[in-house]
Structure 1
């Protein structure tokens, strides 16, 4: 008999091997789906703890305090207007009777109903207590929901044992376990009735396991079934074993993101992990280490070992096996036999590729299509070369090296190594270029061209790299956008957002390296750069407003990025002017400083008012006629402007944005007095135009750094 005494609950779905890269998400989603639905049925006790389990062949969840019967729940049901629901003598009308029956409330009488007004008319409400859900009811719904909402990468359809019924799931399911305390709950999923048995390790546990209770599940599986059920616990065991083995050999497994991704993947491939040491012939170390590392990690799921400190690859690697044996020699030798041909292939590819200089591979790019609307890779290379030369000219870089880097940038696409390992684009080109005797700056540019961002301020030896980095992203942004492949909320297959952020980052690092100075607003303007890039395409290839649209896209990306660290109104104020990218941070700093000053609110409000006046005015004169200024307040404002404007403009030209805004802040009293004492829209057209000209002059100098009106509250 189910009651309201909480007991632990265990649900396990036993399957064929699940997709390893999706396993952790599947386990978390399965557990959350069960928890969420049971909570909605009020079947979880207060502070019920949830543990998720996921192995290559099972998804499971343990909840430590689940009720067999949910408490009675208060309900309120709005029915219909009283004048419709009740007859003239106050009895239930046929319409209301029908509705009550449909809602399972047919036992209610007119006296049981509540009258309440919604402000317009009286409505009838049914209020009361309804029996709580049983665990059987709630758990069946929870299973259906959890299975139906799993983030399954690809569903497969298979037949059940009866040979007639078909179901869809990520992999065929074989058993379902549902235990509440010591009792089996009568539920089913994917055509499987619930039981209390499961299977242990495929090879190290020959018999089914009978689970005593939910609380013994994890320990029984580990002790009797040789399965570590918890994904996180299994991952921790593997990580500890890897580090211990590496430390014993005075080595390290590395700490780059690929190591963590591989750790997640091998955790999803094994149920009872054991770590063994393998090695290969040291002669293979003559091959670029990236090739060996990639083939070991990607193809074999091994963890290469590196020398500590220097990080140099060794000839040893660690194997995460799913078998615990007394003598692992056969496992180790088998893995070494498997990896040797892989490494030999890498060696063969490298040595074969070296026979043809990288520069001689460039003409072959004419047969490789970049995009059917944008031509071949060779045509793309020609565009990137011209963009690189343009950028080099703006920055004072060596145009010859920049063009050479652009020429060779895609040549490695035709190599055997990149054909086998596309992830090594650029990296292999750098190795081949170095072997051909190319300039070190060119080699470095090839190696770093696919990075997401520049990690340090640009220096003399990384200037060529920065130029190629920018040129390629400009070509991508303008070309792909121009043919209509604009990123959407869900899709960005050409990495346009990443390219925009990379271009922004390059401007920032050029500023940090002093190649773009805050005091120079003319060097390498984004608008000019994008317009130059758009001009390299054949007429009619791109949409007419491509450069403008791409610039707006880049500033929008910058706005979202900056809003993470700065006040949104300050960011909007600065970016409203679409200033030179390398000045943005200094302008934001100046605006933040200005916004804290006592004059800021008044000047921002005045600036907003001036902007509105100017928008409504026609043909505002460019010069102020001082002889037409009759009111003392407007004369005083003109005097203040005559004194402050030259200083503010010079400070702005010198890149002293804080000083420029501080100078103009001194105009606050004169501005306030002007708006208090002067009627701007005077009846005399000449007076009105002259006052607007004065305000226009103030507006222009005040808004050099940012659109100050956007700081107004």
Structure 2
């Protein structure tokens, strides 16, 4: 029996464009997986997904008309249960065989056909049978039902089916959109399956307006895409349609001149691909007067509201021409072009109106309005939040640049949120910060302040640029810290994959700024400052002790709340809240570093010490990686692990050594080696040369190995024991300044 290729298509009303690609891929893959599971398709079968605005389809190669029969061996029961003392079948065995369809008219013959084999400690009876392979009719029916049931439908639609009886609409169907046709072809033969109240056939519908014939009859499974494009004016493949759109966009821009370039947004490309069946790119334009409006506003409204592709000039500035992907290709496209130009004009007029109206009020005049906007019912208004960000920004600015930077950061933080009250941001929330920069320039503020207002939300997402100047950096860091400490203080923490306040993103943004700009800020004092501002009272300084054991973390709790006269909660943070945020930030840092290619051991070794200057973390990781490549690394890591275990049992031991109490040659040699090596390694550490520091310490391998081979640490004499533990404590402190080397031990 030879295989043939299979084609299945669901013809439906217009599908949601943003979900189309995912729906098409899921439908095809689920269908093929189910066919393979039933033995109707092979592992070598190639699956091709098709998805257009009005259809989901799958083409599967090498599909059998009937799956091969399959030999199956089934365990029945232990011999002691299935056979009596005379070797005859028990009623339980006969009942089991009957249930499996075996012939038990001759019980002894039925038993003779069974196999005996060890099963653990006992011997069991096994029944061999031949399972008839599924036919394509039944197998495809099951596969189709499974594929439809498992579609990642964003929102299910319920609709009524027409009935052959006198009561139309008596049954209802739930699907992403109403379905109107089903095709199932095995080669050129229709497979009699049903789905969503439809019977399979060999015809479908083409383009809603430009199809040459209706219906489009498919000769066989392999001619599906070709026939649809030729007779139905539809490019069935999602990727093929997307490629055609990109090609036409580039071609249209090239015809306009070499100075034009298309702003091709990937998400917009995918959405438009889900909107058209046969793309036709047209060039349109709007009045040049609208270019007075910030180009971010115009670009956003064209992309988000109209699904148009803006054209930039050679300088990267927005031009007054744009590209439209039409779903029709008339001989005279002037009406289509004119219609799109007419539709976009009110949108651009609205943007211009908002921009003109917003500039009639200064940002400074809007500050008082922030007190009327609730930020969070437990954290007060945007005005209160702004004051907290100002205080944190002043403190950071003072540390990084003195009074000048602190004053600039204070001004920026005071005005940064005022554009939330503008009409433009009210219409386009994505422009917050960006519009603040434009309005700041209009108010006569410096470029430094304008850029800082624009950038204070950065980085908005993974890979986003950091703020362009130091003022923006200070305010952006203060803004993220205020969010983190506030949300941690009221207990709004991320859980699982839920993070409604984007705290993970805020933490990663703060981490990126501290590391990539190598800011000379210690993390713990930075968090303490932010907490004191938000809490409006000092944090106990001893909360930053190094006892990071699990017991303390488990006891960590979020502070309670008490409502003041204003109706908002006044935060009451305890030490554990501060520690929780510190743990959260280091955890985010660890995940980020692993994503960058560092091993879990390398990251664990460095972050175990919780380095305060996050800008040093990359240098420490580089040093650890270089150290791990040395031949001495494995032995020293193992020794460090052994030392850590010893010192855990002697936590009160001081790193002090009395040379008088050094008795054994190996401990004398180790102490002498440390007196030679440790000062050089410490000097290199203080100079920031972490790689050289660890490589210098590698010279201690031989004396450390000799010490553990020849010295009993826990000697019976208490003074000798404490002295040797003190020697190990000194060694441990010297070797683990860059990273906890014991974490490198396998």
Length-normalised TM-score, structure 1:
0.94
Residue of structure 1 aligned with 2:728, choices 673, 686, 695: 695
**Native 8 Å contact 1:454 1:505 kept in 2:** no
The verdict on how the C-alpha distance between 1:106 and 1:353 changes in structure 2, with shifts beyond 3 A counting, is: farther
Shift of 1:35: 0.4
**Native 8 Å contact 2:47 2:60 kept in 1:** yes
For 1:158, the equivalent position in structure 2 comes to 159
Indicate the SS of the match to 1:109.
helix
For 2:342, the equivalent position in structure 1 comes to 337
- Is residue 171 from structure 1 mapped to residue 168 from structure 2 by the alignment? no
**Native 8 Å contact 2:680 2:696 kept in 1:** yes
Residue of structure 2 aligned with 1:306, choices 299, 312, 316: 312
**Native 8 Å contact 1:13 1:177 kept in 2:** yes
The verdict on how the C-alpha distance between 1:631 and 1:64 changes in structure 2, with shifts beyond 3 A counting, is: closer
- Separation in 2 of the partners of 1:457 and 1:300? 27
For 1:610, the equivalent position in structure 2 comes to 643
**Native 8 Å contact 2:262 2:309 kept in 1:** no
- Separation in 2 of the partners of 1:674 and 1:255? 70
For 1:283, the equivalent position in structure 2 comes to 289
Shift of 1:569: 1.2
**Native 8 Å contact 1:479 1:542 kept in 2:** no
For 1:196, the equivalent position in structure 2 comes to 202
For 1:69, the equivalent position in structure 2 comes to 66
| Number of residue pairs the alignment of both structures matches | 697
**1:180-579 pair list within 5 angstroms:** 180-205=186-211, 207-250=214-257, 259-308=265-314, 310-396=315-401, 398-452=405-459, 462-511=469-518, 516=519, 523-538=520-535, 540=560, 541=571, 543-544=573-574, 545-564=576-595, 565-579=597-611
- Separation in 1 of the partners of 2:277 and 2:259? 24
Once structures 1 and 2 are overlaid, which stretch shifts more, 106-115 or 325-334? 106-115
**1:618-633 pair list within 5 angstroms:** 618-633=651-666
Deviations 1:497-519 (A, max 9, x none): 211221111112212xxxx4xxx
**Native 8 Å contact 2:514 2:521 kept in 1:** no
- Is residue 35 from structure 1 mapped to residue 40 from structure 2 by the alignment? no
For 2:14, the equivalent position in structure 1 comes to 17
Indicate the SS of the match to 1:667.
helix
- Separation in 2 of the partners of 1:394 and 1:127? 81
- Separation in 1 of the partners of 2:633 and 2:649? 25
- Separation in 1 of the partners of 2:259 and 2:9? 37
Residue of structure 2 aligned with 1:586, choices 610, 614, 619: 619
Indicate the SS of the match to 2:265.
helix
- Is residue 51 from structure 1 mapped to residue 33 from structure 2 by the alignment? no
Deviations 1:317-355 (A, max 9, x none): 111011110001111111111110110000000000000
For 2:166, the equivalent position in structure 1 comes to none
Structure 1: runs of 5 or more not aligned:
517-522
The verdict on how the C-alpha distance between 1:97 and 1:451 changes in structure 2, with shifts beyond 3 A counting, is: farther
Residue of structure 1 aligned with 2:76, choices 75, 79, 92: 79
For 2:557, the equivalent position in structure 1 comes to none
Shift of 1:200: 1.0
- Separation in 2 of the partners of 1:287 and 1:227? 39
Shift of 1:211: 1.5
Shift of 1:630: 2.1
Two-structure CA RMSD over aligned residues (Å): 2.0
Shift of 1:240: 0.4
